[in-house]
Copies of this chain bind each other. A is one copy, B any other.
Amino acid sequence: MRYSWSWSELTDDVQAEGPTIAEKDALLKRENGVSEQSPMRLRMEKFIKEHQKQIVAALEEVDGQKFKIDTWQRPEGGGGITCVIQDGNVFEKGGVNTSVVYGKLPRAAIQKMRANHKALDPDVDSLEFFAAGLSMVLHPSNPMAPTVHLNYRYFETADDKGNTNAWWFGGGCDLTPCYLFDEDAIHFHKTIKAACDKHDPGYYPRFKKWCDQYFNNTHRGETRGVGGIFFDDLDETEKDQEQLFAFAQDCLSAFLPSYIPIINRRKNMPFTEQEKIWQQIRRGRYVEFNLVHDRGTSFGLNTPGSRVESILMSLPLTARWQYMHFPEKGTREERLLEVLKKPKEWV
C-alpha cells in the first residue's frame, strides 16, 4: 500500500464471525505480554511505542520544552499516541505519532494491493488488517536548521480464520533544509546508509533513489529536500520477516544519531530577516508537496471520517507564497535550488 500515512482512511466496520485479530491480540498481551515469540503485530507495536518515548525524550532535551500528548482509542481495537510540540524554543512545530489500527479492507483496496502482494486472496469480499507505524515531522524555527520527516510502518492482513495472509514493511526518513550545509546532508545520509548496509548493500542506493523520486514537487522540478531513504511493500519476496523487522528497527534506531547532531549545530545559529523569509517560502513548497503530491495525505483528506488534524500535523506552523521569487545568482538560496533540481549523491 503505497501511502505514507493514512490508516484512518481504511474502513473500520469489523464484523467478523470468530474472534477478530484485535481480540486475539488483546488476549495474548494480557496473558503473556510481548516477547520474541509473539506475533509481529505485537512486537512492532511494542517497538514503535518504546522508540516514540525515546525520541520524544531526546527532542525535549534539545528543545527545553515538553511535548503535549494526546491518546486516542479506536472502538474496533488499537488507537494512537500523538505527541506534539508547538512554538517550542527550537521547534516551531513537530509531531511524533504512533498509531495501531485494526480494521477491515474492502474488496477494492485488496485488488489494488494485489499488484504488490500476490499472497492476498483475490476472492474474498473483505479482509481483516492490522497496521502499526511511527510517523514524525519536525519543523525547527531557525532557518539554518532542517525539517525532518520519518515514517516506519508494518502492515498485515488475516484470512477469516485469523491467520496471517500478507504482511509488509514500509517507511523512510528524509531531510529538508532551507539553507544547505553539505556536512549535514552527508552526516544524515551516512548514518542512514550504515543502518542499511548492515542488512543489504543494495538497500541504500535503491531506497535513496526511491526517496528522491517520491518526495518530488514535480510541478516545480524540485525534490522536497535533500532526501534520505524511502521504501514500501517489503515482504517475503524481499527477505524473511525477522530480517525485515531487524532492518526497520535499525532504520528507526538510526534517527536520533542522524538528526540530533544536526539540530544541535543549527538551532542557535544567527540569521537575518531575509533568511527567515526564505525559510517561509521553502515551507510553502513543503505544503505544496504534502497537499498536491503526497498520496497518503490526499487520499486521507478525500476519505470521509479521517482524522484531519493528525493527517495535517505534517504541515509547518507558518508558510509563505511570494509571486515570482527567484534567488539571485551565486547565493546560498540558489545553490539549494540547484541541488533540489538535480539530487546529489551524498555518500
Q: Which residues of B contact A322 (CB under 8 A)?
A: 86, 317
Q: Which residues of B contact A306 (CB under 8 A)?
A: 219
Number of copies: 2
Beyond A280-B318, A288-B291, A318-B280, is A323–B86 a contact (Cβ under 8 Å)?
yes
- In the docked arrangement, what's the CA distance between A272 and B321, Å? 23
- In the docked arrangement, what's the CA distance between A322 and B94, Å? 11
A110 at the interface (CB under 8 A from B): no
Beyond A86-B323, A301-B292, A322-B86, is A284–B218 a contact (Cβ under 8 Å)?
no
Shortest distance between the CB of A282 and any CB in chain B (Å):
14
A84 at the interface (CB under 8 A from B): yes
- In the docked arrangement, what's the CA distance between A279 and B93, Å? 19
- In the docked arrangement, what's the CA distance between A315 and B319, Å? 11
Would you give the 0/1 interface string for A284-317, flagging 1 where the beta carbon is closer than 8 Å to chain B? 1001100110000010011010101100110111
Q: Which residues of B contact A220 (CB under 8 A)?
A: 308
Q: Which residues of B contact A114 (CB under 8 A)?
A: none
Question: Which residue of B288, B301, B315 is within 8 Å of A219 (Cβ)?
Answer: B301
Shortest distance between the CB of A86 and any CB in chain B (Å):
6
A95 at the interface (CB under 8 A from B): yes
